[in-house]
């Protein structure tokens, strides 16, 4: 449903309204995120500082005990020295205290143990190395156990001569319940405040967006009513916004220009219609003139008074000229009536015979005609059929360069099911793929001369018969046009 949705589809009023709502929501989300981040950092800082404070206080007490003991200050005597004191220190500071030897083995712990308890694991060697190699001779190991962060501080215990005698361990479990409660109360209060602000912003955004877009709505309605085919009214409105007033003045100026442009456009359309009609008429007259000229020249060149087939040839030439003259007469009649190109005058004829007769006007030796059968009977306009063949063959001749050695143009006709298929192929320069979709457009041509009307006109003729014309072409290898016309018997 929302696959093709775009924000530009919304009206300006709704976009202003939504923008204000989104700003409130984003602001509340940012404030909540920052607050959560700050609370977490504050909790981390609190636990870190608290552990450091506990460490300092406990080490002062340990140093005091060591300075007042009668036992020699050795690692083995630490368990005796803190036999009772370690529990006192643990109670005072409310923290578990463990004392390990320098090798990492537990010597004394404030945590009560029973004889059946397993021996406490020693301190891992990597931690002992980290403690000894650090500048402060201390290391804090942090692990998450059962969803809670556990800090375990390790620090060297030194005698009065600063010689290490043991390792102090302070396990510390972070308790964030206080901060979580505070954060929860803060977020609840924030949600209440922003919920109220959201309700207020709904009302403010609605009235503000309506106020801003009121003048624009008037202009929009006027623009929707604007048309070249009618008298357009100017906007009489004084808006409170300078930008809106500029827009109104621009619209009123556009209305004045539109009226002037409408008059020029009407005149231009009339002139263009006459020009287009003149071009079509010139093109349609030029089509039969060329084959007529070629026919006369061929007759003049090949005339032989002693030819036994002279009478038949004269009849053929005469019939060809009469067909082309009829085509010109039809075009002239249509132009004189200021109507469309000649209407269909369908007659039952042999399509193969008409096409073959039309091919006789072309004297190029490289043009070959082939028919699948001697007769394909259909009801069709003779003049328009001749126009189709003449135009396609002329285009094929012009597509083959004069300098090309091996020239070939093939015209074939066959019956396929209830359809007549006429193909005109050449081995000329071909047509680029990017021009395939434009080749039948009026005024489009790939030739240096001509007006590009021929293919567009014959395409209309073919489509009037519910037929089709298609092309296959490869640049530099040639082109094939295929005309498909349904056979009509009624």
Provide mean pLDDT across the span 116-132: 78
Cα distance between residue 62 and residue 81, in whole Å: 10
Cα distance between residue 311 and residue 308, in whole Å: 8
Q: Render pLDDT for 146-194 as a digit per residue (tens, 0 to 9).
A: 777 788 888 888 877 888 888 888 888 776 666 677 777 777 877 787 7
Asked if 140 and 150 count as a contact pair (C-beta separation under 8 A), the reply is no
Q: What integer pLDDT is reported at residue 240 of this predicted model?
A: 55
The long-range contacts involving 185-194, CB below 8 angstroms and separated by at least 24 positions, are: 186/35, 186/39, 187/32, 187/35, 187/36, 190/28, 190/31, 190/32, 190/35, 191/28, 194/24, 194/27, 194/28
For the chain, what's the residue count?
490
Q: What is the DSSP annotation of 338-356?
A: T-SSPPP-EEEEEHHHHHH
Handedness of CA 284, 289, 294, 296 (dihedral sign): positive
Query: CB within 8 A of 158, min separation 6: which ones?
Result: 164, 165
Q: Using the predicted structure, report yes or no on whether residue 424 has a pLDDT greater than 90.
A: yes
Q: What integer pLDDT is reported at residue 266 of this predicted model?
A: 62
Q: Where are the domains of the chain?
A: 1-68+176-218, 97-175, 276-486
- 370: helix, coil or strand? strand
Q: What integer pLDDT is reported at residue 51 of this predicted model?
A: 75
Q: Using the predicted structure, report yes or no on whether residue 70 has a pLDDT greater than 70.
A: yes
Cα distance between residue 415 and residue 486, in whole Å: 10
Q: What integer pLDDT is reported at residue 413 of this predicted model?
A: 93
Q: Render pLDDT for 240-251 as a digit per residue (tens, 0 to 9).
A: 566 667 777 777
Query: CB within 8 A of 435, min separation 6: which ones?
Result: 444, 446
- 174: helix, coil or strand? coil
Helix axes of 242-302 and 310-336: crossing angle, nearest 10 degrees? 160
**DSSP category for residue 90:** H
Q: What integer pLDDT is reported at residue 443 of this predicted model?
A: 53
Backbone angles phi, psi at 438, to 5 degrees: -110, -5
| Residue range 97-175, CATH number | 3.30.450.20
Domain 276-486 has CATH 3.30.565.10: yes
* CB-count exposure of residue 163 (10 Å: 0-12, 13-18, 19+): exposed
Residue for token pair 């005339």: 303
Spatial CA neighbour of 323 closest among 287, 364, 297, 370: 287
Q: Using the predicted structure, report yes or no on whether residue 95 has a pLDDT greater than 90.
A: no
Cα distance between residue 59 and residue 169, in whole Å: 11
Q: What integer pLDDT is reported at residue 140 of this predicted model?
A: 84
The predicted model scores a pTM of: 0.37
In 10 A of CB 203, how many CB atoms? Answer: 9
Highest mean pLDDT among 71-75, 158-162, 221-225, 461-465: 461-465
| Residue, of 223 and 52, whose pLDDT is higher | 52
* CB-count exposure of residue 315 (10 Å: 0-12, 13-18, 19+): exposed
Cα distance between residue 346 and residue 384, in whole Å: 9
Provide mean pLDDT across the span 330-348: 62
Provide mean pLDDT across the span 284-289: 69
Provide mean pLDDT across the span 331-341: 53
Provide mean pLDDT across the span 440-460: 63
Cα distance between residue 216 and residue 178, in whole Å: 55
Output the six-digit token pair for 431: 């047509």
Q: Using the predicted structure, report yes or no on whether residue 107 has a pLDDT greater than 80.
A: yes
Provide mean pLDDT across the span 306-316: 77
User: Among residues of the chain, what percentage have pLDDT more than 90?
Assistant: 6
Mean per-residue pLDDT of the chain: 77
Q: Using the predicted structure, report yes or no on whether residue 444 has a pLDDT greater than 60.
A: no
Q: What integer pLDDT is reported at residue 115 of this predicted model?
A: 45
In 10 A of CB 202, how many CB atoms? Answer: 14
What is the CA 72 to chain-centroid distance, rounded? Answer: 83
Q: What integer pLDDT is reported at residue 219 of this predicted model?
A: 67
User: Among residues of the chain, what percentage have pLDDT more than 70?
Assistant: 75
């Amino acid at each position: 449903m929302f696959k093709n949705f775009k924000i530009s589809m919304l009206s300006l009023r709704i976009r202003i309204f939504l923008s204000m709502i989104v700003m409130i929501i984003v602001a509340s989300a940012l404030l909540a995120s920052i607050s959560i981040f700050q609370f977490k950092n504050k909790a981390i800082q609190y636990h870190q500082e608290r552990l450091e404070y506990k460490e300092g206080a406990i080490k002062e007490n340990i140093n005091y005990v060591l300075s007042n003991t009668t036992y020699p200050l050795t690692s083995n005597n630490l368990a005796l020295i803190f036999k009772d004191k370690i529990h006192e220190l643990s109670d005072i500071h409310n923290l578990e205290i463990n004392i390990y030897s320098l090798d990492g083995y537990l010597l004394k712990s404030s945590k009560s143990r029973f004889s059946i308890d397993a021996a406490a694991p020693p301190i891992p060697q990597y931690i002992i190395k980290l403690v000894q190699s650090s500048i402060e001779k201390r290391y804090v190991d942090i692990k998450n156990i059962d969803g809670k962060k556990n800090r375990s501080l390790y620090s060297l215990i030194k005698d009065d001569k600063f010689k290490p005698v043991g390792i102090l361990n302070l396990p510390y479990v972070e308790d964030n319940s206080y901060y979580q409660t505070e954060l929860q109360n803060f977020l609840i209060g924030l949600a209440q405040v922003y919920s109220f602000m959201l309700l207020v912003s709904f009302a403010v955004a609605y009235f503000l967006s309506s106020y801003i877009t009121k003048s624009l709505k008037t202009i929009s309605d006027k623009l929707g009513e604007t048309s070249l085919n009618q008298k357009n009214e100017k906007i009489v409105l004084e808006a409170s916004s300078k930008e809106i007033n500029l827009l109104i003045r621009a619209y009123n100026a556009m209305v004045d220009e539109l009226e002037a442009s409408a008059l020029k456009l009407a005149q231009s359309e009339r002139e263009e219609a006459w020009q287009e009609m003149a071009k079509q008429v010139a093109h349609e007259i030029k089509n039969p003139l060329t084959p007529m000229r070629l026919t006369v020249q061929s007759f003049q060149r090949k005339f032989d008074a002693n030819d036994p087939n002279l009478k038949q040839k004269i009849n053929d030439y005469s019939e060809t000229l009469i067909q082309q003259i009829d085509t010109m007469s039809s075009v002239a009649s249509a132009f004189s009536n200021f109507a469309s190109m000649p209407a269909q005058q369908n007659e039952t004829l042999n399509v193969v015979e008409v096409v073959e007769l039309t091919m006789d006007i072309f004297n190029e030796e490289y043009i070959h005609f082939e028919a699948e059968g001697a007769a394909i009977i259909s009801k069709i306009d003779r003049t328009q059929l001749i126009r189709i063949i003449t135009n396609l063959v002329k285009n094929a001749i012009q597509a083959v360069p004069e300098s090309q050695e091996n020239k070939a143009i093939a015209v074939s006709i066959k019956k396929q099911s209830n359809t007549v298929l006429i193909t005109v192929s050449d081995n000329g320069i071909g047509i680029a793929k990017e021009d395939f979709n434009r080749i039948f457009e009026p005024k489009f041509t790939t030739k240096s001369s001509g007006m590009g009307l021929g293919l567009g006109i014959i395409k209309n003729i073919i489509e009037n018969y519910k037929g089709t014309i298609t092309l296959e072409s490869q640049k530099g290898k040639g082109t094939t046009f295929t005309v498909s016309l349904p056979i009509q018997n009624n």
